[in-house]
Amino acid sequence: MARNWTALLGLAAGLCVLTAADARADLFHHKPKPQANVLTDADVDAIQKALDEQRLKDAGDMLDRAFLIGAKDPRLFLLSGELRLAQGRYADALDDLKLAETTPATRGKALECEGIALSLLDRSDEAMATLRRAVTEDPSAWRAWNALAGELDRRRSWTEAEAAYDHALSDSGGAAIVLNNRGFSRLLQGRFDAATDDFVAALQKKPDLAAARTNLRLAMAMKGEYDRATAASAQDDQAALLNNAGFAAIMRGDYVTAEDLLSRAIAARSEYYARASENLELAKSLAARQKAPPVGAQ
pTM of the model: 0.79
Q: How far apart are CA 230 and CA 226, in angstroms?
A: 6
Same domain, 199 and 248: no
121 within domain boundaries: yes
Contacts for 235-239: CB closer than 8 Å, 24+ residues apart: 238/268, 239/265, 239/266, 239/268, 239/269, 239/273, 239/276
**Does 111 lie in the same domain as 52?**
yes
In sequence order, the β-bridge partners of residue 15 are 13
- Whether residue 219 is found in the same domain as residue 239: no
What CA–CA distance (Å, rounded) separates 221 from 252? Answer: 9
Cα dihedral 126, 127, 130, 135 sign = negative
For residue 57, with 0-12 CB atoms within 10 Å meaning exposed, 13-18 middle and 19 or more buried, which class applies? exposed
Domain assignment present for 150: no
Q: Which of 169, 191, 223 is the last residue of a domain?
A: 223
- Cα distance between residue 140 and residue 146, in whole Å: 11
Residue 206, pLDDT > 50, answer yes
Residue 55 lies in a domain: yes
Report whether pLDDT(1) > 90.
no
pLDDT 10s digits, 262-278:
999 999 998 999 999 99
Q: Is residue 70 part of a domain?
A: yes
If asked whether residues 201 and 261 sit together in one domain, one would say no
In a domain, 286, yes or no: yes
What number is the average pLDDT over the span 223-235? Answer: 89
Looking at the predicted structure, is the pLDDT value of residue 180 above 80?
yes
Q: Is residue 19 in a domain?
A: no
Look at residue 44 and tell me whether its pLDDT is greater than 60: yes
Of 191, 207, 223, the one marking the end of a domain is 223
Give me the half-sphere count of Cα atoms (radius 13 Å) on the Cβ side of residue 150: 22
Does the structure show a pLDDT above 70 at 212? yes
Question: Does residue 54 share a domain with residue 129?
Answer: yes
Do both 129 and 65 map to the same domain?
A: yes
Q: Which of 223, 254, 271 is the last residue of a domain?
A: 223
User: What percentage of residues in the chain have a pLDDT greater than 70?
Assistant: 86
* Number of domains composing the chain: 3
In a domain, 195, yes or no: yes
The stretch 102-111 carries a mean pLDDT of 94
Provide the residue range defining the domain that includes 260.
Answer: 229-290
CATH assignment of the domain containing 107: 1.25.40
Domain membership flag for residue 193:
yes
> What is the reported pLDDT for 36?
53
Tell me what pLDDT residue 11 has: 31
Q: Same domain, yes or no, for 194 and 128?
A: no
53 and 124 both lie in a single domain: yes
215 and 234, same structural domain? Answer: no
Contacts from 258-265 at CB under 8 Å and sequence distance 24+? 258/283, 259/283, 259/284, 259/287, 261/226, 261/230, 265/239, 265/240
Average pLDDT, the chain: 87
Considering the domain architecture, whether residues 209 and 267 belong to the same structural domain is answered as no
| Radius of gyration of the CA atoms of the chain, in A | 30
